Structure 1
Amino acid sequence: MNNERPQKMYLYARFERFWHWAQALLILILLVTGFEIHGTYTLLGFERAFTVHNFCAWTWLVLYAFIVFWMITTGEWRQYTPTYKKVLEVAWYYAFGIFQGKPHPVPKTKRTKHNPLQRLTYLGIVSVLVPFQLITGYLYYFYNSWDQLGLDWGLSGVAILHTIGGFAMLVFVITHIYMTTTGHTVLAHTKAMITGWEEVHDPASVGEWEYKK
């Protein structure tokens, strides 16, 4: 691990911070309205919750397209390149090492914003869970057009799948919020995602786990 004193680096671009917080807000509203539509509680009323839920779903789809475009054109997609190197070490750190005052096995740098475990998690969210929710959600939304599309499925099955996806997203959100508190201070990562600046080690370094062998 690099023992040099961390440097304050501009790590998160303005649009990156915008889509992060916009997506967080949309997911929160979708979860709240989604569980109300499911009948878990009454907050806005079914019709209003349904309207808000659908509006946020379409907004998220548009935002998602812009995020993908931004990642491709800026090369930021490389930050999410999956690797299994040091995954077990990182998992051990978050489960035990962090409570023993151990150093993080993969220091954050400008080149590597996300450690191997984060990369695999975010890749799974972006490539599996989000599309799963969008597809099941829009199937639910366009239920009256199923005959025209030649679909002969049960609505309850799609609803159950969409709800399962909602719970999976809720688990991710709770875990993600917890992970934001694991910086050198409780609010360090949150502050970085607001200002764009975060303390990192050598910003030009390449961790040994990144080298291809």
Structure 2
Amino acid sequence: MNKRIVKIYPFFERFWHWAQVLLILALMVTGMGLNGVHGLIPFGPAVMLHTLAALVLLALWIFATFWLFTTGAWRQFIPKIEGMLSVARFYAYGVFKGEEHPYEKIFWRKHNPLQAATYFVLKWFIFPAIWVTGLLYLTYNFWADGNSIVAITLIANLHLLSAYVIGAFIIVHIYLLTVGHGFRSHVQPMITGYDEIDLTPEQEAYLETNEPNRLKPLQG
């Protein structure tokens, strides 16, 4: 394995990530307002902004899902048991002892096992839960009748629970960006697309021959 600086995050993946950040932030602020946490935005405009941000985010997720499967990038999110315990131990204990991260990012596996498992649960369970409950909530007047109070209460609570899970993920995600090599080194690859990873000689030769623009010299 040789360490090289490689462009592993294409433009769409970076756009998708930062667009999600802005839209989820808008949903969290408006959602908290709708639940009485603050009164920064009047109820009517908060509903409109929350609905608009949700529909734009849903469209982005649909397009991103299409992109993941057509490019084969979905394989990055398939969890593996191997190495998961060592990564979990590092975050729970080793990081406070100054230990090195046990996972080295490689060309075909940019997410460590714990990251992949977390993203898998989010993308296949939590996000669909918030999509379905949100759409049912939004279309309540089209399907509900006088006996639907139990159903709408359940839908509202599941929607709120899914939002709390996503909020907890964001808090933990931001915290983990501060461990290891520091916040900047974690965030910069999602801005520039380039990160330092391990390449096999065959991968390095392929990129140098066919995609040299994806390689940068190591910083001295």
**TM-score tier after normalising by the smaller chain length:** 0.7 to 0.9
Segments of structure 1 that go 5 or more residues without pairing to the other structure are 207-213
Of 25, 38, 43 in structure 1, the residue corresponding to residue 40 of structure 2 is 43
Q: Deviations over 1:60-84 (max 9, x none)?
A: 1110111011111111011011211
Structure 1 position 22 matched with structure 2 position 19: yes
The structure-2 alpha-carbon separation of the partners of 1:137 and 1:204, relative to structure 1 and needing over 3 Å to count, comes to farther
CA RMSD of superposed structures (Å) = 2.1
Q: Deviations over 1:139-194 (max 9, x none)?
A: 1111111248x967432222122111111111001011112223423211111100
- The equivalent of 1:31 in structure 2 is 28
Q: d(CA) in 1 for partners of 2:201 and 2:155?
A: 47
Identity %: 40
Give the count of matched residue pairs.
Answer: 202
- The equivalent of 1:85 in structure 2 is 82
- The equivalent of 1:211 in structure 2 is none
- The equivalent of 1:167 in structure 2 is 164
Deviation at 1:11, TM superposition (A): 1.5
Structure 1 position 110 matched with structure 2 position 145: no
Deviation at 1:30, TM superposition (A): 0.7
Give the TM-score taking structure 1 as reference length. 0.87
Q: Which moved more, 1:78-87 or 1:156-165?
A: 156-165
Q: Is the 8 A contact 2:126 2:162 kept in 1?
A: yes
Deviation at 1:18, TM superposition (A): 0.3
- The equivalent of 1:176 in structure 2 is 173
Give the TM-score taking structure 2 as reference length. 0.85
Q: d(CA) in 1 for partners of 2:174 and 2:200?
A: 25
SS of residue paired to 2:16: helix
Q: Which moved more, 1:160-169 or 1:50-59?
A: 160-169
Segments of structure 2 that go 5 or more residues without pairing to the other structure are 204-220
Output the amino acid matched with 2:102: P
Structure 1 position 59 matched with structure 2 position 56: yes
Deviation at 1:200, TM superposition (A): 2.0
